[in-house]
A and B are shown apart, each in its own frame.
Chain A
Amino acid sequence: MNKNKTYPSYLAFGTVAIYFVFLFLPGVLGIFYSFTDWNSFHPEVNFVGLSNYQRIIAPNQKYMDYISNTVIFTIATTLAKSALGILLALLLTHKLVLGKALHRMAIFTPLVMSYLVVGLVFKSLLHPATGFVNIALRSVRLDFLANNWLSDASLALGTVISVDTWKGVGYIMVVTIAGLKSISATYYEAAEIDGANYWQRFLHITLPLIWPVLLTITILNLTYGLRVFDIIYALTNGGPGHATDVINTAVFSAFSKGDYAMGTTLSTVLFVFVMAISYFLVKMMENKGEEL
């Protein structure tokens, strides 16, 4: 008997079985179905090779636009949430800021609101004629800034990204604050004695020590961004036209039309994206951890 083992391995059987049946098997089946013509109209399923994947890249289809929108959304929200989250975390751990708990709560609150509510509220706030945002802009003579925020194709994706950042930045802030709190004050005291300014302290103490936290929030942001659906469904339903359609709105649309094969094909593409990015980020985190 291996004395190093704390628990016998058969205790993991239950978890493995559940994981296999409910997670692994459906995932593999999903990939398998992407090579078939599975649909809601006919019970039999035929192997069609790569034709579903060919449909995705066909010039008369818009799927590549949806993939592009997904990537833009993911990169933009990841950068915006991370930058703003870190900035807010630094601000709200600074000794000169008063009412830190109140500020933190206010910034965190949007996270607990449902996407549907956020969608409805922002649709109302951003209405070009009757919305609060444009009315406020016009009232201070900034008419030129009043726009069709959700119905102008050139602005809609940016608007959705902004709303999503507003909703999600509180979480990044809270996680980063936890990371900042774990840094011992002695490092900063020593650096101050050595004459380091704020920026130098941030660059050489704060950033390296919260690096694992930053990588974790980046993985969370990236995997969320690639899988985004709710906020887009609630705010624009992919519109105007297809300006804000992403992979998951296309998956939803394919399933709703009974074209299950296309739904699973798009899901497989998404799965590969998420797996590849997560793998590299986790590897990066491990390497960085070893360096530290």
Chain B
Amino acid sequence: MKRFIALMTVLAVICAMFAACGSSGSPSDAPAGDSQAGQTPASQDESAPANRPITVTFGSHQSGLPVSGIEQELAKEFEELTGMSIDFQVTPDAQWRDLLNVKLNAGEAYDIMNVDADPLSIISRINPEQNCVDLSGEGWLSRIDPVVLPGVTVNDKVYGIQFAGTRKSMIVYNKQIFSDLGLAPPTTYDEWKQVCQAILDSGITPIYEATQNGWHQVLPLFETGSHYVTLYDDLYGRLNRNEMNVLEVKEIGIILGQMKEFAELGFFGDYFMSQSVEGAQEALATNQAAMFNIDTGWVNELETEFPHTFDNFGIFAAPWADNQTISVNTTCNAFFISKDSNYVNEIKEYFNFLASPENLKKRLEGDPSQESLCWPEVESRAKPEFQAYFNSLPHGMVMQVGTSYIDPQWMDVGKDIDAMYAGMMTPDEVFQNIANRRDEMARLQRDPAWQ
């Protein structure tokens, strides 16, 4: 009898343990303030009442949230109205994409995910049909600029909400330093090299480069896409149909060589391998560096943080490989709701709050780095001087938005460029790796164009 009782007890313990492991728990039981609340896969609680103290997790990368803190301010206002608080969980840029994918693959996604949204990479990055809530029925869709919708749409269903407007990556330069040294904005690579040498000779670092974030060093390669399309007919289409290899775009290889040359000439300074984008403002505001490759909205942010720099910064198109075009990036970070979230209705309500006209206006006013929003009802505040420069040059789409398997390997290319700067890889090897990764990703995704 004793033996039987002992055996039954053992079996009962095993059953209880397996049952506990399989339990999904009740979503409404999740305590307020529990930052893991959204990470428990559970059925959606569509009938959850509003105005109750809940906490939803908001996963983002460092540069995905405005430095000004406007995103958190708006979240705070929403919390005051509804009781729902947003737990912002910020990850360094260099680790964000890998971390998000690991979380998605492990079924532990954040309730809200702040993800770079572009039409060609959206599936490999977040696979919305599998992981996100369909937002096609939301009222704000009729007001957002349709040009950004392909970045958040899969099979005619919209999965994300975006706020930032189109971006143009340019070289921001210190007018005073240029004027003091009698320099003019360069239009060719050779001119640029001479300008940099003159600045270096004056004791100032010519260009602030930031490799620590992992993405900044890649800008010259793919945000010169508008230049490539002027040289090759139907470039993006042919690359996407695999009728052309990316290695045939010789200018990418040329730019890699030029970047390496700039680094070796000391144009990026001594410590660029340890610098981050966040340090650029101080470096340029205090004349430690003269130029920086960044989105033009960054100048507004700089002027807000360092008012003495007002009107002291101009822009020019980066003359890598003699480029004289402007690449426009229509994609940006967008917010997606996890399918596993327990608070889908509440988050939809939050998105409605963010998309209200007064909050859109507040967002633009509260984020100096933005020149415009992708909401036509909110007036752009681009500087007239910059606008005139934009209008003077031909425009085109950045390569990562037009070409498949470029954006998903962005951070890997960043690591390869680091290796190139560190002398561990040649520019040719970096270039070859870009082509290899495209082939590998196409094979993995069984792209018909690669069969």
Contact = CB atoms under 8 A, between A and B. Distances in A.
A243 B105 contact: no
Given A151-B273, A153-B424, A41 B419 contact: no
A11 B10 CA distance: 7
Contacts of B432: 60
Interface stretch (A160-168, A220-228, A232-240): A232-240
Given A8-B6, A241-B419, A256 B274 contact: no
B121 to A, nearest CB: 12
B414 to A, nearest CB: 9
Contact of A240 (B10, B102, B105, B421): B421
A241 B418 contact: yes
Given A8-B6, A148-B274, A237-B214, A256 B97 contact: yes
B105 A41 contact: no
A41 B444 contact: yes
A129 B274 contact: yes
Nearest to B18: A21
Interface in A248-269: 252-253, 255-260
A241 B100 CA distance: 21
B273 A255 contact: no
B94 interface: yes
A150 interface: yes
B141 interface: no
Given A41-B446, A129-B271, A258-B444, A243 B101 contact: no
A41 B10 contact: no
B273 A240 contact: yes
A257 B445 CA distance: 11
A239 B418 contact: yes
A128 B271 contact: yes
Given A241-B415, A256-B99, A148 B14 contact: no
A60 B416 CA distance: 13
Given A40-B105, A129-B271, A237-B95, A8 B3 contact: yes
Contacts, number: 103
A63 B44 CA distance: 41
A241 B424 contact: yes
6 contacts: A41-B446, A42-B446, A60-B436, A151-B273, A151-B422, A233-B95
B6 A11 contact: yes
Interface of B: 3, 6-7, 10, 13-14, 17, 94-95, 97-102, 105, 123-124, 127, 211, 214, 270-271, 273-274, 408, 415-416, 418-425, 432, 436, 441, 444-446
A13 interface: yes
B63 to A, nearest CB: 16
Contact of B415 (A239, A252, A256): A239
Contacts of A42: 445-446
A241 B423 CA distance: 9
Contacts of A201: none
A197 B214 CA distance: 57
Contact of A40 (B3, B6, B127): B127
Given A11-B6, A233-B95, A255 B436 contact: no
A253 B418 contact: no
Interface string A263-286: 000000000000000000000000
A39 interface: yes
